[in-house]
Amino acid sequence: MIKVIAPAKINLFLDILGQLENGFHSLFMVMQSVDLCDEITVDKGNGGIALTCSDARLPQDGRNIAYKAAAAFFEATKIEPNAVITIEKKIPFEAGLAGGSADAAAVIVGLDCLYGTNLSVKAMCDIGLTVGSDVPFCIKGGTCIAQNRGEVLSEVKPLRDCFIVLAKPEKGVSTAAAFAAADNSYIYHPDSIRMLDACSNGDFDGICKYAGNVFEQVIEVVERVGIKEVMRNHGSVLYQMSGSGPTVFGIFNNIQDAETCADELKKEYKDVFVTRPVGHGAKVI
Ligand code: C5P
């Protein structure tokens, strides 16, 4: 049996540049893996793909993106499908944290190890992209610029150590609906050139200064203002929504501030976590 950890991601920067011919959007993002991880196991069974998930609200069949990832792995490698997959959910779903994509990434990395196929990261990312735009990043992980659909990845300097509080309001956001809302709105674009400079130089203050997420302009999450206020009051140096939301993250320089902020947010929100940046994606342990 192979055990894999699947880190969540946050978007330090997310801009929508336009629409691609395939209907997807062309993006410019800065992605960061954090140490809030789902735990996945993969093993051989009696043939076919079987999946169980600790959260009964998620589908446990072919509708689950992790199941689709297993099917895509077997199709690409021409191996007869045979996998028993378990998912221990820690990352909230419909949260803007790539929880589903992280599980899909973990399944591909886990099956590669289980079957000894020794695929390159690029080959695994190609399989991952067939099931979701964020899966390639969730395989690679760390700190990356992600372009096009999100699959064109360039490593930049790792974000220096810090404490990242995540707070997810109750109501999830559909990514498809978020993109549709963006299509129907005028968007002010954040400064990707300065952000890229800051990332390339490992300039933490610059990253905090030039961070941005255009989904904040088109997705209304009423709790966002209140969460940001709590984060600001506790000394957060950057507070912003992740992906298409609704999760808001706050970056802190010391753990005491992060923990007192999280304690305050926990009075109102169920899903609150204190995390740290990590330099890897889905990883066999
Ligand atoms: O690829 P994924 O399944 O994660 O995409 C979820 C939704 O977000 C889809 O509706 C897709 O059209 C949209 N999307 C997009 N452009 C991207 C990534 C996702 O329009 N680059």
Asked whether the beta carbons of 27 and 146 are under 8 A apart, the reply is: yes
| Ligand 1 neighbour 175 (Cβ under 6 A) | yes
Annotation marks residue 191 as catalytic: no
How far is it, in rounded angstroms, from Cα 191 to Cα 96? 21
Span from the CA of 174 to the centroid of ligand 1 (angstroms) = 10
Q: What is the predicted pLDDT for the residue at 97?
A: 97
Q: What predicted TM-score, i.e. pTM, was given to this entire model?
A: 0.97
Mean per-residue pLDDT over the chain, rounded: 97
* Residue 259 pLDDT grade (very low, low, confident, very high; cuts 50, 70, 90): very high
* Gap from CA of 172 to ligand 1 centroid (Å): 16
- From the CB of 133, is ligand 1 less than 6 Å away? yes
Of all atoms in ligand 1, which is nearest to the CA of residue 135?
A: 4
Q: pLDDT tens across 73-111, in order?
A: 999 999 999 999 999 999 999 999 999 999 999 999 999
Measured by CA distance, the residue closest to atom 15 of ligand 1 is 24
- Residue 172: the pLDDT is 82
Ligand 1 geometric centre to CA of 225 (Å): 26
Instruction: Please determine, for residue 173, whether its predicted confidence score (pLDDT) is greater than 90.
Output: no
Which is catalytic among the residues 134, 140, 257, 283? Answer: 134
State whether the beta carbon of 93 lies less than 6 angstroms from ligand 1: no
Pocket test for ligand 1, best of 24, 65, 147, 244 (most atoms within 8 A of CB): 24
The answer to whether 164 and 250 have CB atoms below 8 angstroms apart is yes
Q: For 128-167, what is each residue's pLDDT tens digit?
A: 999 999 999 999 999 999 999 999 999 999 999 999 999 9
The closest residue, in CA terms, to atom 12 on ligand 1 is 24
Residues 51, 250: contact at Cβ < 8 Å?
Answer: no
**209 touches 250 (CB < 8 A):** no
What percentage of the chain reaches a pLDDT higher than 90?
98
With a cut of 90, say whether residue 59 has pLDDT above it: yes
With bands split at pLDDT 50, 70 and 90, how would you rate the model's confidence at 183? Answer: very high
Q: What is the pLDDT of residue 231?
A: 98
Is 140 a residue of the active site? no
Q: Tell how strand 143-148 and strand 82-88 pair up.
A: unpaired
Q: Are 251 and 236 in contact (CB under 8 A)?
A: yes
pLDDT the model gives residue 253: 97
Q: 210: pLDDT confidence band, cut at 50, 70 and 90? A: very high
CA 125 to each of CA 17, 62, 151, 175, 188: distance values in angstroms, whole numbers, following the listed order? 22, 20, 8, 21, 31
Report CA(228)–ligand 1 centroid distance (Å): 27
Whether residue 19 is predicted with pLDDT greater than 90 in this model: the reply is: yes
Average pLDDT over residues 271-284: 98
Closest CA to 19 of 169, 180, 223: 180
- The string of pLDDT tens digits covering residues 112-122 is 999 999 999 99
- Which distant-in-sequence residues (6+ apart) come within 8 Å of 184 by Cβ? none
Q: Which residues contact 256 (CB under 8 A, 6 or more apart)?
A: none
Instruction: Write the pLDDT tens digit of every residue in 25-39.
Output: 999 999 999 999 999
Query: 193 CB under 6 A from ligand 1?
Result: no
pLDDT of residue 95: 95
Q: Contact, 172 vs 95, CB < 8 A? A: yes
Given ligand 1 and candidates 97, 133, 135, 137, which is best to mutate, with the most ligand atoms within 8 Å of its CB?
A: 133
24 Cα–ligand 1 center, Å = 6
C-alpha to C-alpha distance for 212 and 192, rounded to whole angstroms: 9
State how far the Cα of 200 lies from the Cα of 94, in Å rounded to an integer. 30
